Chain A
Amino acid sequence: MAGAPAWPAPLGVGLPWNPDLPAELYAADLLDFVEITPEQLCRQGPAGFVLEPALLDRARAVAGHLPMAVHGVELSIGSASGMNPAYLPMLDALHAAWPFRWHSEHLHFQMVDGAEIGVPLPLPPTAEAAALVAGRARAIQARYGLPFLLENGAHYLRDLPADPAIADEFGLMNAISAHAGCGQLLDLHNLHCNAVNHGFDAMAALDRVALDRVGEIHVAGGSWAGGFYTDAHDGAVPEPVWDLLAAVLPRVPRAVGVVFEVLDRHAARLGPELIARQVARARAIWRGAR
């Protein structure tokens, strides 16, 4: 990644921070890093969103011994009318309190004219969208002097407007990362969802990804709703996603690690044993490829 900040050495397998999971899951012999969604550590203060010391202290007490990366969800980097103005000041505060090694966000928009929509939505693969996000991603990467990654999203909409030169979600992500000098977070479950719902071959689609820019990989589980396979983060990783992981890991030399994602509200139902098994399987594939 020419022109980009120095990339961290490979670590291995990580897990998102979830205060309701047993602390034992964050032991150094099971995990190599922890991923923090900073919005989870915030409360609404009189002058905007602020870090909640009690939430931050709890996270650091349990997972502070691990290298930490940030995975944000609220930036809305693709909103034409402006990003979420509360996000970066909050991230500044987190970085000052608990420095992260790299950070990532989703390539989507979820605000319009300053109002939240309540769900992330895909960007159309157009030159305008690529230029908008690339400029912002470049500035964000410079702000922290750390690698910044954008994650490919799952979506269910057909016939997004497209420019022929960009063509599709892969063209959009590659154009942004090339122009911004930022990295890519390759979410294999999102890729699997889009392949199932939009009818393409996920394994073949890996050839369309700029794999030399992939800095991190996500795996997760999902479920069916309304005739679509959804990125629900509510279960074990499906076999096709494990196959994608095994196929792609030898081809992403800059990848720092793999994260198994599960939503907080599903983690208790799934239980720590299942989560530990997913982490162990990811680790086995990681080690086999390295």
Chain B
Amino acid sequence: MSMALAEFQRALAARILEGAAGESGADPGLAVTIAIQRSWCRGRAAQAAMPTLMLLPPEEARRLLDQHVAAGGGRASFGNSAGMAFLRWLATRLPQGSPAAAMCVVQMAAHVAAAAGRPMEEAQAAAMLRRLMRQPAERISSAR
């Protein structure tokens, strides 16, 4: 074997994360591995943020997901960490005062409450959403 294990793993991971599958003569299996990696990253991020994403036009939701994954999002597969990271990322990009921005704040609050061992109940989440939707845009923004 010409390449040590650590070196092989770093090189393979780098090609996958860079999406470097298009060179002439490249292993076609690399392209499908990259496609699977991107699909799984999208799935992890989208799963946790679905209520927020559903309040966006589908094209916009897709664009934001693609942008997040291209920036390295969705790789953390343990627990809900990829979803929380996506919500934090989304919160800085959604139109202030929009229903999606309010839902994003509620979802983040629910994640924080769950992480503290005090899961938010549905009625609490609904009340928070109603409260946020009545507030001016700048207050929703500051609630993040």
CB pair B75 A230 closer than 8 Å: no
Provide the bound-state CA to CA distance between A127 and B9, in Å: 15
Selected contact of A124 from candidates B8, B10, B31, B47, CB within 8 Å = B8
CB pair A80 B5 closer than 8 Å: yes
- Contact segment of B76-84, B123-131, B134-142: B76-84
Provide the bound-state CA to CA distance between A230 and B36, in Å: 9
Number of A residues with CB within 8 Å of any CB on chain B = 50
B73 CB → nearest A CB, Å: 9
Indicate if B4 sits at the interface (CB-CB under 8 A): yes
Selected contact of B1 from candidates A116, A161, A228, CB within 8 Å = A161
CB pair A74 B31 closer than 8 Å: no
CB pair B37 A119 closer than 8 Å: yes
Indicate if B24 sits at the interface (CB-CB under 8 A): no
Closest to A124 in B: B8
Interface residue ranges of A91-138 to B (CB < 8 Å): 109-110, 112-113, 115-119, 121, 123-124, 126-129, 132
CB pair A39 B36 closer than 8 Å: no
Number of B residues with CB within 8 Å of any CB on chain A = 42
B41 CB → nearest A CB, Å: 5
In the complex, what residues of B have CB within 8 A of residue A158's CB?
27-29
A134 CB → nearest B CB, Å: 13
Selected contact of A42 from candidates B3, B78, B84, CB within 8 Å = B78
Interface residue ranges of B96-123 to A (CB < 8 Å): 114-117, 119
In the complex, what residues of A have CB within 8 A of residue B37's CB?
117-119
B68 CB → nearest A CB, Å: 12
Give the interface centre of A43, A54, A121, A155 by most chain B CB atoms within 10 Å: A43
B144 CB → nearest A CB, Å: 19
Closest to B34 in A: A119
5 contacts between A and B (CB under 8 A): A79-B9, A119-B40, A155-B29, A227-B32, A230-B36
* B contact residues vs A (CB 8 Å cutoff): 1-6, 8-10, 12-13, 16-17, 27-33, 35-37, 40-41, 43-44, 47, 74-81, 84, 114-117, 119
* A contact residues vs B (CB 8 Å cutoff): 39, 42-46, 49, 52-54, 73-74, 79-81, 84, 86-87, 109-110, 112-113, 115-119, 121, 123-124, 126-129, 132, 155-159, 161-163, 197, 225-228, 230, 265
